């Protein structure tokens, strides 16, 4: 029998579903299997016209918020005029509504930020349009920037507790005091690497808990018994968004070094992003066009086939000018689980997964000569491959199994009264 009165966990996301955020959809899917009832609240509609198959397993109800300030005003007050709220009849007769609108205007007058005003109105939309009759009793946001702002505002307007998971860009592109303020109001915070956890603990108010929970990957999906040996022509592979923090120029320059040394290889890259045109132009300028193939964005099923044929996975992560950086890119763990050795950089939480020289090769960010040397060694040193690949697979199984970490996360939730229904 379905328990229609079961408490519901609201999950505020930037967008849903997103092809690049499988760690979030996997979390939701596995929490549902634990018996947690979830209502997804998405700040944007999907960007892609396809999804991973695992999305079809998620049962959560999904609500989409108005994504623009004008849309919020129109949905709430029937007008895109910012003064519409003051003219709304509820503002005069409903004391709860009046109090909430006063908070929204106070926030706007304090910050003067259009984005802040929109996040307050999105929170009011949740309070008016989503919470009634929903059995939502706690709000959790993924990413410490705008989704957590909406979650905190919803908490302020409704009195419901909130929490959040901080990932990467959302941590390091915000002023520390902004995150500190959010942690101070949240019931708890979660993050996905030890590197992040240490930073957040340093800026958190004393006594506020920060829980480290790795994303993990599905080791039943990412598995391979492929041969550890490699022969020319070698296949080199990358999955990444075309964005500065991925350090793709370092990878491309390293490939140029390999080509100049006469090493026979082909290179495939999966992904998309704002820097795509400049990245592809760089491949052209380096004279690598005949060796390199851009495949766009692909679902897991196709990426799995590319892992199966690859001899090496390369990623050049670095800290972008605005502070943006990766945590532990899941693609590194996926490669290791698929018997594909990895070359990456020492940035952020990556050394928590990759032991340099044992489970992969790490170089300093931007050092394309060192990356080229590491690539060549992994491709050509068969003894190294036969030692490194099984050690890498074991490391992923030891610390990155998402079935283990979802139980850790569920236990964290239970500490704060968020648990499966009867």
Counted domains in the chain: 2
Return d(Cα 85, Cα 81) in angstroms, integer. Answer: 8
Looking at the structure, tell me whether residues 135 and 208 fall in a common domain. yes
Looking at the structure, tell me whether residues 212 and 261 fall in a common domain. no
Alpha carbon 134 to chain centroid distance?
A: 27
Return d(Cα 308, Cα 75) in angstroms, integer. Answer: 49
Return d(Cα 171, Cα 191) in angstroms, integer. Answer: 10
Return d(Cα 377, Cα 287) in angstroms, integer. Answer: 23
Domain that holds residue 55: 8-216+402-415
Instruction: Give the side-chain half-sphere CA count within 13 A for 376.
Output: 17
SS3 265: strand
Four-point Cα dihedral 171, 173, 175, 178, nearest 10: -50
Domain annotation covers residue 3: no
Domain annotation covers residue 22: yes
Confidence band (pLDDT; 50, 70, 90) for 87? confident
Looking at the structure, tell me whether residues 411 and 303 fall in a common domain. no
Structure tokens at 391: 């050690």
pTM, entire model: 0.89
SS3 62: strand
Domain annotation covers residue 422: no
Q: Residue 86 pLDDT > 80, yes or no?
A: no
Looking at the structure, tell me whether residues 109 and 243 fall in a common domain. no
Residue 300's pLDDT is 83
Q: Residue 110 pLDDT > 80, yes or no?
A: no
Structure tokens at 154: 């919803």
Residue 260's pLDDT is 98
Looking at the structure, tell me whether residues 79 and 61 fall in a common domain. yes
Other C-beta atoms lying within 10 Å of the C-beta of residue 2: 7
Of 39, 117, 17, the residue nearest 76 (C-alpha): 117
Contact 340, 307 (CB under 8 A): yes
Residue 278: exposed, middle, or buried by beta-carbon count in 10 A (0-12, 13-18, 19+)?
exposed
Domain annotation covers residue 227: no
Alpha carbon 193 to chain centroid distance?
A: 12
The neighbouring-strand residues paired with 37 are 8
Looking at the structure, tell me whether residues 388 and 409 fall in a common domain. no
Looking at the structure, tell me whether residues 62 and 178 fall in a common domain. yes
Domain annotation covers residue 163: yes
Residue 3's pLDDT is 53
Return d(Cα 194, Cα 203) in angstroms, integer. Answer: 15
Strand blocks (E) in 173-299: 189-191, 210-212, 234-239, 265-270, 292-294
Q: Residue 310 pLDDT > 70, yes or no?
A: yes
Q: Residue 1 pLDDT > 50, yes or no?
A: no
Looking at the structure, tell me whether residues 409 and 361 fall in a common domain. no
Residue 20's pLDDT is 64
Q: Residue 82 pLDDT > 90, yes or no?
A: no
Which CATH number belongs to the domain containing residue 351 in this structure? Answer: 3.40.50.2000
Parallel, antiparallel, or unpaired: how do β-strands 210-212 and 234-239 relate?
unpaired
Alpha carbon 124 to chain centroid distance?
A: 26
Looking at the structure, tell me whether residues 392 and 410 fall in a common domain. no
Looking at the structure, tell me whether residues 327 and 276 fall in a common domain. yes
Residue 69: exposed, middle, or buried by beta-carbon count in 10 A (0-12, 13-18, 19+)?
middle
Q: Residue 51 pLDDT > 70, yes or no?
A: no
Looking at the structure, tell me whether residues 182 and 293 fall in a common domain. no
Looking at the structure, tell me whether residues 180 and 85 fall in a common domain. yes
């Amino acid at each position: 029998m379905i328990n229609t009165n079961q408490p519901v966990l609201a999950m505020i996301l930037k967008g849903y579903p997103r092809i690049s955020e499988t760690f979030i959809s996997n979390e939701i899917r596995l929490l549902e299997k634990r018996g947690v009832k979830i209502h997804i609240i998405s700040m944007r509609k999907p960007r892609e016209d396809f999804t991973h198959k695992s999305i079809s397993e998620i049962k959560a109800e999904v609500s989409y918020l108005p994504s623009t300030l004008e849309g919020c005003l129109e949905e709430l007050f029937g007008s895109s005029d910012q003064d519409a709220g003051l003219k709304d009849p509820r503002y005069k007769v409903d004391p709860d509504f009046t109090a909430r609108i006063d908070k929204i205007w106070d926030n706007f007058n304090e910050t003067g930020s259009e984005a802040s005003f929109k996040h307050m109105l999105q929170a009011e939309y949740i309070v008016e349009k989503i919470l009634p009759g929903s059995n939502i009793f706690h709000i959790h946001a993924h990413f410490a920037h705008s989704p957590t702002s909406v979650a905190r505002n919803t908490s302020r307007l409704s009195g419901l507790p909130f929490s959040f998971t901080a990932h990467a860009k959302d941590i390091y592109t915000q002023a520390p005091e902004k995150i500190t303020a959010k942690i101070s109001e949240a019931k708890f915070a979660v993050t996905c690497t030890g590197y992040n956890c240490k930073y957040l603990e340093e800026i958190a108010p004393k006594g506020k808990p920060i829980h480290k929970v790795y994303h993990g990957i599905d080791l039943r999906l990412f598995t391979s018994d492929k041969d550890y040996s490699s022969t020319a022509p070698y296949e080199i592979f990358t999955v990444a968004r075309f964005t500065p923090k991925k350090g793709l120029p370092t990878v491309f320059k390293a490939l140029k070094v390999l080509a100049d040394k006469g090493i026979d290889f082909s290179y495939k890259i999966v992904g998309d992003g704002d820097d795509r045109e400049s990245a592809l132009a760089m491949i052209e300028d380096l004279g690598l066009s005949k060796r390199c193939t851009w495949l766009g964005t692909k679902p897991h099923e196709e990426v799995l086939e590319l892992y199966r044929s690859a001899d090496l996975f390369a990623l050049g992560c670095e800290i972008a000018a605005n502070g943006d950086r990766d945590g532990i890119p899941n693609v590194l763990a996926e490669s290791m689980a698929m018997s594909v050795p990895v070359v990456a950089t020492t940035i952020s939480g990556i050394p928590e997964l990759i032991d340099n020289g044992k489970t992969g090769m790490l170089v300093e960010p931007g050092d394309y000569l060192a990356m080229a040397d590491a690539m060549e060694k992994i491709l050509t040193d068969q003894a190294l491959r036969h030692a490194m690949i099984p050690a890498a697979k074991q490391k992923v199984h030891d610390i990155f199994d998402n079935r283990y970490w979802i139980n850790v996360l569920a236990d964290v939730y239970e500490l704060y009264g968020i648990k499966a229904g009867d």
